[in-house]
Amino acid sequence: AQSVTQLDSHVSVSEGTPVLLRCNYSSSYSPSLFWYVQHPNKGLQLLLKYTSAATLVKGINGFEAEFKKSETSFHLTKPSAHMSDAAEYFCVGPSDGNEKLTFGTGTRLTIIP
Amino acid sequence: DTAVSQTPKYLVTQMGNDKSIKCEQNLGHDTMYWYKQDSKKFLKIMFSYNNKELIINETVPNRFSPKSPDKAHLNLHINSLELGDSAVYFCASSQGRGLNYGYTFGSGTRLTVV
């Protein structure tokens, strides 16, 4: 069963406005969760990770995510979008059995000039 | 120095051929993975090795065979290539089983079968 669900397949925001990419997880415990970014025709880069040390996690390029157990969410945010943020974003969490990490289906972020 | 390197970056081949993709990591990680990314960007794990031992073997045609000569290398050999094998294949590595550390990915191998 899918451990993470990305709620939006595509998000468009104007440059300079806030970004919100949504991810819910399904787990009976506090899992390790990650966000990865993939720019066009590039590999996958780790943006940030949550491993139960602090619920608000800061990542690279001004992104951050908040782990909310009550909502089983791990949404990715950025206060002000930049053109270079246009990419595919993946929420990642452990699968059933906790033996491997499973990727969400991805959210394509488009930045409008 | 590239942390996880894959070769080749692009591979175009005809149906029925056999091909290999190589992966090497210089991070000292114990675990390596192969992921397949389809045309819809969906990423699915194929295999995982921990210290040369196969620990994850998803439902993948047996035309795909991974080989790990040592913990720094994980190669993927594909026999009798089919059109549906066209995808981007990513190699990754992690400390331990990756559940707390996440993965470091290579830049991918774009395989096109014609």
Structural domain boundaries in chain B? 4-113
Q: How far is CA B18 from the centre of its chain?
A: 15
- The boundaries of the domain holding residue A27 are 1-50
- DSSP letters spanning chain B: --SEEEE-SEEEE-TT--EEEEEEE-S--SEEEEEEE-TT--EEEEEEEETTEEEEE-S--TTEEEEEEETTEEEEEE-S--GGG-EEEEEEEESTTSTTT--EE---EEEEE-
A102: pLDDT strictly greater than 70:
yes
Contact list in B for residue A90 (CB cut-off 8 A) is 43
Under CATH, what is the fold of the domain B4-113? Answer: Immunoglobulin-like (2.60.40)
Q: What is the mean pLDDT of residues A76-101?
A: 89
Q: What's the pLDDT score for residue A53?
A: 76
Q: What's the pLDDT score for residue A28?
A: 65
Q: What is the mean pLDDT of residues A16-43?
A: 89
Quick check: is A42 in a domain? yes
Q: What's the pLDDT score for residue A99?
A: 66
Are B105 and A44 inside 8 Å of each other by CB?
yes
Which residue type sits at A103? F
Our count of domains for chain A comes to: 1
B104 and chain A in contact, CB less than 8 A: yes
Quick check: is A90 in a domain? no
Quick check: is A29 in a domain? yes
Per-residue pLDDT tens for B56-93?
888 889 999 999 999 999 999 999 999 999 999 999 99
How far is residue B75's CA from residue A96's CA, in Å, rounded to a whole number? Answer: 27
Give the CATH number for residue A8: 2.60.40.10
